[in-house]
């Protein structure tokens, strides 16, 4: 599953994986796991992260490859956060071998809506929960614990716009790589969570049929 920041990719990925009974493989999480478990790749990743750099394609591919080797992926899996580059996409095709088809869902939301969503969300000072906006206005009090809410510095509008420019630039080639495939689906992610989940489910069923 692909999508820009603010498109609801994590939420939709979790829902879809749960409804299909397959593991939700989020690269953020498996990277943290590999670092904790202290695998060869985990130790390499740790050094890179601690030096403030981005984890290379090579390390990321290795970590995903290790994860896809586990038994629970036999009947399918959902990848969230991978691939991010054409090189990773190419490696994924090789890892899959005969385990096709790879269904690619791109959650599509226009930049103005993404800016509205990200610049109005707030994070709780006490429990860290993230609260979206109500009718376009930022919430003031945490739903979970009643704590006070703040805006993360990278959710300020001008920073969000810049993040989106970087996202579009870095994924343009990747989308192009997948777009021509019969298993690629662009799903309108601008609606509410339930509606988008229904669209995503229908898109997956449409490819599998």
* Residue in 11, 36, 56, 144 binding Zn ion, rule: CB under 5 A: 144
**Which H helix or E strand runs over 45?**
helix 40-50
Q: What is the Cα–Cα distance from 158 to 199, expressed in whole angstroms?
A: 31
Residue 27 or 120: the one with the smaller Cβ distance to Zn ion is: 120
CA atoms within 13 Å, Cβ hemisphere of 43: 3
Distance in Å, CB of 24 to Zn ion, minimum: 24
Closer of 117 and 122 to Zn ion (Cβ): 122
Considering only CA atoms, which of 88, 96, 98, 29 is closest in space to residue 69? 96
Provide, rounded to whole angstroms, the least separation between the CB of residue 140 and Zn ion.
12
> Are residues 17 and 23 in contact, defined by beta-carbon separation less than 8 angstroms?
yes
How many residues interact with Zn ion (rule CB under 5 A)? Answer: 8
- Of the candidate residues 55, 87, 89, 129, the single one contacting Zn ion (CB under 5 A): 129
Both structure tokens of 41? 């790749």
Instruction: List the catalytic residues.
Output: 9, 84, 121, 152, 163
Interface residues with Zn ion (CB under 5 A)?
124, 126-127, 129, 142, 144-145, 147
């Amino acid at each position: 599953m692909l999508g820009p920041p603010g498109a609801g990719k994590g939420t939709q990925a979790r829902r879809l994986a749960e409804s299909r009974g397959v593991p939700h493989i989020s690269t953020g999480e498996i990277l943290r796991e590999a670092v904790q478990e202290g695998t060869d790749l985990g130790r390499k990743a740790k050094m890179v992260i601690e030096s403030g750099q981005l984890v290379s394609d090579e390390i990321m591919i290795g970590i995903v490859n290790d994860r896809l080797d586990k038994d629970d992926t036999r009947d399918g899996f959902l990848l969230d956060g991978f691939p991010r580059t054409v090189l990773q996409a190419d490696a994924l095709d090789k890892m899959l071998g005969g385990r096709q088809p790879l269904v690619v869902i791109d959650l599509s939301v226009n930049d103005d809506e993404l800016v509205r969503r990200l610049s109005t969300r707030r994070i709780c000072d006490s429990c860290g929960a993230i609260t979206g906006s109500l009718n376009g206005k930022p919430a003031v009090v945490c739903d979970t614990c009643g704590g006070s809410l703040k805006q993360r510095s990278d959710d300020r509008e001008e920073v969000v716009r810049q993040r989106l420019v970087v996202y579009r630039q870095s994924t343009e080639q990747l989308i192009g790589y997948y777009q021509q495939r019969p298993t690629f689906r662009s799903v309108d992610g601008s609606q509410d969570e339930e509606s988008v989940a229904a669209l995503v489910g229908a898109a997956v069923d449409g490819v599998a049929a």
